[in-house]
């Protein structure tokens, strides 16, 4: 049964629940570097931009995707024809010292532009405070509606992710840019633009201390750790973790935008960590790619990547909540992947494989290595997407606690054992699902 608070419509939102967004009749065009142009209508900021054109097959969660820092520098094409029908919520978490301050995935829209088949002129949702159009306009993000996103997607699937130009208003009548004029975000270290500049803490009184290297963290990764009562310290992506590692019970590496090779420095530092430090390490997406590079694997650029909330992955090994031989449906957003090498580097094994394209979806340290290290290409925290693999966060926090227990004094061991019990038996609320009444 759904809890009452889940289904109740807040008084404030009721009046706002169904409204039209400010649409314009300004012309807008998407030019691809490969010569094709798609003409539609602007519904966002009256600003022309360059970017890398990618498509997402997600049916819902446009607000979470657009605020995911991994979309930095990208022109995001949604294959779902109608986008915007549930509007945009106020991106502010209720005051709570354990929370990360936002309800979406970061403070701002991170993609460079959005392209939709048909933007919803009316929106309706009890948390909505504005339309997709007004959100884009307020955040200076260009957006196009009225184009054949299916045709764009078919092109991108054939020719791969393609550089693009969104031309708005008067720029529409200008000739398309010459090939050398297209800006290529893959040459830039986008991680450096989105990572925190200073360390900060969340839930400092939590029962296990986890350091998070921030390559462009989605907020739901931080929430998923905090909800399991981890004391989280978020560090800049290139922080010298080895100089502070003894203070922590585990290390987490987040998602992040762009080519992982820009973060080779972090991968080399991590190699030292993995050689000299025996505590649990977990990485998601960019974090997984960094772990792979530290292990000696190579990362390559895929043709069009995987972006959507319906990617099936097969588990090749069992670990914690994950059972070998099962298929999990996952949320994904990536352009790069680790190469499947045979043999795998010593001490490592493939963990998951993608059922559609056989790309590497996860790696782990072998049982013989004596290490506890996992990397997954998909997003167990979803936001949006299915929660099939959310318990990987519980697995990680439990391993950190178990490690802490081994080294604790008798008095502290009792406290740690109690907190392990809590992690196992206390219901974890609000992982993105309705809480049982
Ligand atoms: N979501 C992510 O962390 C993406 C990782 C990397 N930027 C890629 O595109 O493959």
Q: Which atom of ligand 1 is nearest to the CA of 256?
A: 3
Using an 8 Å Cβ cutoff, are 233 and 201 in contact? yes
Judge whether 105 counts as a catalytic residue.
no
Q: What is the pLDDT of residue 435?
A: 33
Share of the chain above pLDDT 70, in %: 90
Q: Kindly report the protein residue whose alpha carbon is nearest to atom 8 of ligand 1.
A: 334
Q: Which atom of ligand 1 is nearest to the CA of 257?
A: 7
HEC states along 6-26? HHCCCHHHHCCCEEECCCCCC
Please report where in the chains the tokens 């979803």 appear, as a residue: 382
Mean pLDDT of 79-96: 90
Judge whether 379 counts as a catalytic residue.
yes
Answer whether residue 10 shows pLDDT above 60.
no
Find the 310 Cα to ligand 1 centroid distance in Å.
Answer: 17
| DSSP tag of 428 | -
Please report where in the chains the tokens 């399991």 appear, as a residue: 228
Measured between alpha carbons, how far is 394 from 414 in angstroms, rounded to an integer?
20
- Give the model's confidence band at 16: pLDDT under 50 very low, under 70 low, under 90 confident, else very high: very low
Exposure letters 258-273 (e unless 16+ CB within 10 A, then b): bbbbbbeebbebbbeb
Q: Token pair for residue 366?
A: 């072998």
- Give the model's confidence band at 416: pLDDT under 50 very low, under 70 low, under 90 confident, else very high: confident
Mean pLDDT of 4-11: 39
Q: What is the pLDDT of residue 437?
A: 27
Using an 8 Å Cβ cutoff, are 98 and 104 in contact? no
Q: What is the pLDDT of residue 5?
A: 37
Tell me the pLDDT tens digit for each residue of 288-316. Answer: 999 999 999 999 999 999 999 999 999 99
Please report where in the chains the tokens 């010298």 appear, as a residue: 240
Q: What is the pLDDT of residue 24?
A: 72
Answer whether residue 417 shows pLDDT above 80.
no
Q: Are strands 118-119 and 281-284 parallel, antiparallel or unpaired?
A: unpaired
Mean pLDDT of 351-366: 98
Exposure letters 86-105 (e unless 16+ CB within 10 A, then b): bbbbebeeeeeebbbebbbb
Q: Which of 289, 338, 339 to mutate to test the pocket of ligand 1 (most atoms within 8 A of CB)?
A: 289
Measured between alpha carbons, how far is 422 from 279 in angstroms, rounded to an integer?
21
Q: What is the pLDDT of residue 195?
A: 98
Find the 292 Cα to ligand 1 centroid distance in Å.
Answer: 13
Measured between alpha carbons, how far is 391 from 157 in angstroms, rounded to an integer?
32
Dihedral-angle region of residue 305 (phi above 0 means left; psi in -120 to 50 means alpha; beta otherwise): left
Mean pLDDT of 264-280: 98
Q: What is the pLDDT of residue 293?
A: 98
Q: What is the pLDDT of residue 12?
A: 43
Q: Which of 72, 256, 306 to mutate to test the pocket of ligand 1 (most atoms within 8 A of CB)?
A: 256
Mean pLDDT of 377-395: 97
Measured between alpha carbons, how far is 310 from 98 in angstroms, rounded to an integer?
30
Find the 70 Cα to ligand 1 centroid distance in Å.
Answer: 6
Tell me the pLDDT tens digit for each residue of 156-208. Answer: 999 999 999 999 999 999 999 999 999 999 999 999 999 999 999 999 999 99
Q: What is the pLDDT of residue 428?
A: 56
Instruction: Output phi, psi for 380, to 5 deg.
Output: -60, -30
State the Cα torsion 326-330-335-337 to the nearest 10°. Answer: -30
Answer whether residue 255 shows pLDDT above 60.
yes
Q: Which of 191, 255, 288, 332 to mutate to test the pocket of ligand 1 (most atoms within 8 A of CB)?
A: 255
Measured between alpha carbons, how far is 63 from 220 in angstroms, rounded to an integer?
13
Q: Report the mean per-residue pLDDT for the chain.
A: 91
3-class secondary-structure state, position 190: helix
Q: Kindly report the protein residue whose alpha carbon is nearest to atom 4 of ligand 1.
A: 334
Mean pLDDT of 257-271: 98
E strand or H helix at 286, and its extent? helix 286-295
Pick the catalytic residue: 130, 361, 381, 399?
381
Q: Kindly report the protein residue whose alpha carbon is nearest to atom 3 of ligand 1.
A: 255
Q: Which pTM does this prediction carry? A: 0.92
Q: What is the pLDDT of residue 14?
A: 42
Judge whether 285 counts as a catalytic residue.
yes
Answer whether residue 411 shows pLDDT above 70.
no
Q: Token pair for residue 432?
A: 């993105």
DSSP assignment string, 70-125: GGTTEEEEESSSEE-TT-EE---PPS-TTS-S-SSSSSS--SSEEE-SEE-SEEE-
Mean pLDDT of 375-395: 97
Answer whether residue 268 shows pLDDT above 80.
yes
Mean pLDDT of 101-118: 96
- Give the model's confidence band at 256: pLDDT under 50 very low, under 70 low, under 90 confident, else very high: very high
Domains in the chain, CATH or no CATH each: 4-186 (3.50.30.20), 191-425 (3.40.50.880)
Share of the chain above pLDDT 90, in %: 84
Answer whether residue 8 shows pLDDT above 70.
no
Pick the catalytic residue: 31, 262, 334, 379?
379
Using an 8 Å Cβ cutoff, are 230 and 210 in contact? yes
Answer whether residue 17 shows pLDDT above 50.
no
Tell me the pLDDT tens digit for each residue of 198-240. Answer: 999 999 999 999 999 999 999 999 999 999 999 999 999 999 9
How many CB atoms are located within 10 Å of the residue 275 CB? 10
Q: Token pair for residue 89?
A: 């919520």
Cis bond leading into 343, ω under 30°? yes
- Give the model's confidence band at 93: pLDDT under 50 very low, under 70 low, under 90 confident, else very high: confident
Q: Which residues line ligand 1 (CB under 6 A)?
A: 70, 255-258, 260, 285-286, 333-336
Which residues make Cβ contacts (< 8 Å) with residue 201, sequence separation at least 6? 231, 232, 233, 234
3-class secondary-structure state, position 149: helix
Measured between alpha carbons, how far is 16 from 303 in angstroms, rounded to an integer?
42
Distance of CA 405 to the CA centre of its chain: 31
Q: Which atom of ligand 1 is nearest to the CA of 333?
A: 1
Find the 144 Cα to ligand 1 centroid distance in Å.
Answer: 24
Strand-pairing partners, residue 17, are none
């Amino acid at each position: 049964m759904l809890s009452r608070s889940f289904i109740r419509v807040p008084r404030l939102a009721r009046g706002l629940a169904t409204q039209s967004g400010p649409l314009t009749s300004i012309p807008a065009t998407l030019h691809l570097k490969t010569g094709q142009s798609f003409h539609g209508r602007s519904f966002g900021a009256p600003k022309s931009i360059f970017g890398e054109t990618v498509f997402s097959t997600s049916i819902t969660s446009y607000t979470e995707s657009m605020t995911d820092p991994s979309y930095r520098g990208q022109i995001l094409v949604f294959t779902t024809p109608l986008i915007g029908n549930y509007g945009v919520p106020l991106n502010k978490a209720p005051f709570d010292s354990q929370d990360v301050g936002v309800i979406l995935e970061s403070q701002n829209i991170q993609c460079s532009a959005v392209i939709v088949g048909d933007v919803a002129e009316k929106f309706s949702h009890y948390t909505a405070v504005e339309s997709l159009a007004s959100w884009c306009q307020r955040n200076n993000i260009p957006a196009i509606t009225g184009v054949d996103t299916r045709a764009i997607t078919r092109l991108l699937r054939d020719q791969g992710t393609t550089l693009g130009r969104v031309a708005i208003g008067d720029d529409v009548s200008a000739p398309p840019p010459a090939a050398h004029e297209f800006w290529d975000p893959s040459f830039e270290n986008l991680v450096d633009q989105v990572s925190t500049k200073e360390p900060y803490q969340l839930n400092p009184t939590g029962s296990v201390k986890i350091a998070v290297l921030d390559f462009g963290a989605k907020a739901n990764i931080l929430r998923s750790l905090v909800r399991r009562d981890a004391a989280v310290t978020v560090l800049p992506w290139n922080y010298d973790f080895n100089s502070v590692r003894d203070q922590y019970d585990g290390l987490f590496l987040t998602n992040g935008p762009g080519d992982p090779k820009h973060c080779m420095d972090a991968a080399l530092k991590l190699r030292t960590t993995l050689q000299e430090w025996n505590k649990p390490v977990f990485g998601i997406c960019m974090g997984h790619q960094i772990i792979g590079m530290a292990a000696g694997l190579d990362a390559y650029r895929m043709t069009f990547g995987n972006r959507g909330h319906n990617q099936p992955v097969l588990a090749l090994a069992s670990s914690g909540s994950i059972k070998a031989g099962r298929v999990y449906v996952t949320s994904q957003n990536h352009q790069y992947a680790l190469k499947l090498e045979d043999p795998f580097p010593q001490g490592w094994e493939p963990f998951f494989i993608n059922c559609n394209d056989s790309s590497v979806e996860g790696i782990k340290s072998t049982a013989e290595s004596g290490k506890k290290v996992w990397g997954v290409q998909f997003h167990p925290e979803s936001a949006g997407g299915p929660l099939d693999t959310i318990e990987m966060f519980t697995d990680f926090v439990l391993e950190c606690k178990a490690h802490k227990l081994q080294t604790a004094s008798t008095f502290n061991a009792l406290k740690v054992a109690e907190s392990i019990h809590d992690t196992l038996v206390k219901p974890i609320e609000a992982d993105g699902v309705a809480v049982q009444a």
